Each structure stands twice: as structure tokens, then as C-alpha cells.
Structure 1
Amino acid sequence: MTGDRAGHEIVYSEETISTRVRELGSEVSDAYSEEDRLVVIGVLKGSFLFLADLVRAIAVPHEIDFLIASSYGDAMVSSGQVEFRCDPRTDVKGRAVLLVEDVIDSGMTMSKLVPRIESLGASRVDVISLLHKRVSAESLEPRWVGFDAPKSFLVGYGLDHAEAFRHLPYIASI
């Protein structure tokens, strides 16, 4: 790990992330067919960079949508309450859905989100997370994980602290 000028400790470099996202795209492509009518839904705001790179690495046809759900607000620790601010607009009834998350910490957001998408009639709901902190043994286990992450607070590549640091091309600990 190396530090940068801002005092962050780089945990995953831009190159490491790029390589892993391409691998994940290949794995996702192998898991779906055209008949699944895949809808890839990014959980905003944190997943937007991961989602942008991931969908370009997925070879099967798919649609893209977004939703907004959060349990952090501006805090560095989950509030324990999941707030839904925007549902996807795409009709997912009878379709496979891949929920794209930036980081699974307590797993609370996904434990509320998966049943919500299932209730909309999705034929299948899978989760892919760039990072998994494995904080809780009871947290939802995503089908795909980019990296097992340290339990420190991470920023960059879409992850933020109070809306700062999302633009960084790497992931760092603060």
C-alpha cells in the first residue's frame, strides 16, 4: 500500500480495479443468456463508476437502470436504517436483475433491496459488489465480489465521504 499526496492509503490501484472488473464482467456474461432479458441496476451513487466499467465488460445484451438507497447519509457508519429515494423505472417483471453495489458492509441495504426487487416480479435477483467488508456473518452474500475489503472507511472509484473523493481512480483508506 502506498500513500498519495492527500494522505490516503491506496488499497486498490486503478489497474487492479480495472483488471478485476473485466474478470467480473466475463463471469457475469457466462451466468446469463439473452433469454434472461438482463437488467443491470446500479445502486446510486456509489456504484456508478463500477457499473459503467462493468456493463462495458458484460457480453450479453442488457438494459441499465438505477435506484437510490442508502444507510449512510453523510456519516462514516451505517445509520441502521435503509432509505429508498428512487426505484428503477425499468419493468423487471419476468426478467433477471443484477444489482450492482459499491460496497457491502453490514449487508443491511441489500437485505432490504433484494426483496423489494423480487416484489416487482423479477424472475431472478443476483447481487454483485465491488467490495465486501464481511462485517456481519448474517449479511447477504453477493453472487460476485470484486475484493474482500478491509474494515476501514474507503473512498474513491465512486465511494465517498460526505460526497467527496468519488472521482479518485483508485480506492483508498481514510
Structure 2
Amino acid sequence: MNIVDARGQDCPKPVILTKETVEKGCRSFVVWVDNEVAASNVQRFLESKGFMVKKEYGEESIVLEAKIESKEGESTPQKKGSIGIMFTSDKIGAESGGLGDVLMKSCLGTLVQSEKAPSVIALMNSAVKMALSGSSCHDYLCELRDRGTLILVCGTCTKHFGITEAVSVGVISNMFEITEAVFGTSKPVVIG
């Protein structure tokens, strides 16, 4: 059986190593990682490609056993007209006495009220702070999540700011998944 040893690798390397194994046509293999964020990222990637994933916890690693469920091994294509938004700041524009905060709340509030919610929102850099329960934008993100919007939060960014454990809306993710999700939509938008 093929083994992907991704222990000790920084995000998004575990997903990239797993992707390389999938692209080689492997239909059954094992991935070793050493943290829960990497395990979750790899599991979501594999499931998006049609794999059944069994997760087991060892003393020094998490083992993901992957077996293909479908013949194609392809992810579900994005719906026509889907919108993906990447926010790179918790403010819109240059800070000017609180204006950036007001504009961000207005933007998210408008998205909540729009007829069609974005299919994915990715939070990068300081935008990850919006995923904290004390953020003025938190409730809007919760409403969008409840409407079916996938909220992806950059794990490298949350680690940088020391807030990973405090994130209360969205999924801690990685650059590979975020890029695929946002730019895989028919209308990707970057704000920040």
C-alpha cells in the first residue's frame, strides 16, 4: 500500500502531497499527518475527490486511510454562476477613522440580504479576525454560513495571529483548498 508521510510538513504541503498521489492514479493509500488541522484539510480534499476516508489517531500521528468510492475520482464542478469571495483584510480600503470597518460590515450585510449568497468566502490575512465571536462581522458570516456559504479561514493566518482556537465560524483551511474553492467558482472576487 502507498504511504504519504506528511508529518512535520507546513500547510498546505500535506494536501499537495496527497494530491500528487491521487494524480498518479492511486485508488487506495494511507496519509500520515501530525496535527488535526492537516488531517481535516487532507480529509476534505480526499472526500471532494470521491474518496472514502477512515481516520485513526496514533501516539505521534494521525493516519488517514483513503479508498476511492467513485470511478472518476473528480470533485463536483462548481455551479454555473457561483461566486467566490476572498477577503484579505478585516476592513475595506485604507483605515480612515473607522470607515474601513463600516464598509466591511455594510458589504457583508449586503451579501446576507442578496438573493444569491456566495458559494464560498475565504478569509485571509487580518480578515481571519472576522471569524472571532467578538467581531462586528461575525454574525453576518454566521448568517451566510447558515444560507449555505462555505466559510474557509486561513490556518496559517490564524496561527500567525494566535487565534486558531478562538475561531468560531468557518473551517480552518489551507492555501490549496482556498485557492481551489474561490478560483473554481465562475465569479471569483478578491476584496481587501
Task: Looking at secondary structure, tell me which structure has more strand per residue.
Answer: 1
The structure richer in helix per residue is 2
Point out the structure with max Rg over C-alpha: 2
Q: TM-score range by the shorter chain?
A: 0.3 to 0.5
Instruction: Please give the TM-score of this superposition, normalised by the length of structure 1.
Output: 0.34
So what's the TM-score if we normalise by structure 2?
0.32
